[in-house]
Amino acid sequence: MDNHYKQFYGSARMKYDDLYESEKRIFGLLNLQNRSILDVGCALGGFYNVFKSLDSSAKYTGIDFSESLILEAKNRYPEANFIKMDATQLEFENNSFDIVVCNSVQAHIPNYRSLISEVYRVAKYSCVLDTRLTFQNTQNIGDEDLSYYVLNMGEMFEIIEKLENLQTFVLHSNKITPNKNKLHSKDYVDVGVFSGLFLFEKQAK
């Protein structure tokens, strides 16, 4: 799987033009000037380039569970800070980073509740979270190689209600089609899946 990520992220997701329109909209709401940014699930670290192009004063840290990806990220961007770490057990204090960004991670984490809680916990001002949502029951529509957890809308909003010090949030959503070659049931093919990109703004203590 690491080789797949290296191939994809080696040629994509490393400049502003690679961003989805929803990301451009959400990132445009962030104050990046002299802000510390944590990129959770950084892969090869391409978002270091993205944030530096948006504001050169931004201070970037990337984490990923894969040691192989972290080593490659360090080789590509030696001036940045990269750490191997489990996103469901972040080794940072509360409010450690001004902004926390977590893209393309939630859908592949069985313990997604801990992931959401952790990325929000370590954010001081803003947390950007990419999710996969459905009006049906929460389910894993992946396979033995790669999980793909799609959250019921009601469950996601139940999680949001429990976030402490949340002041406002913005949601940018659009319907997407999972990789049907990886699905093993017609029921899964018919699942309505939405990409939900959240921006949580919190009151720092």
Reported as a pLDDT band with limits 50, 70 and 90, residue 205 is low
Q: What are the C-alpha distances in Å from 39 to residues 58, 83, 143?
A: 12, 10, 26
φ/ψ of residue 171, rounded to 5: -125, 125
Domains of the chain: residue spans and CATH = 2-202 (3.40.50.150)
Separation of alpha carbons 76 and 72, rounded Å:
6
Segment 40-96, tens digit of pLDDT:
999 999 999 999 999 999 999 999 999 999 999 999 999 999 999 999 999 999 999
CB 168 within 8 A of CB 151: no
Stated pTM of the model: 0.90
Average pLDDT, the chain: 89
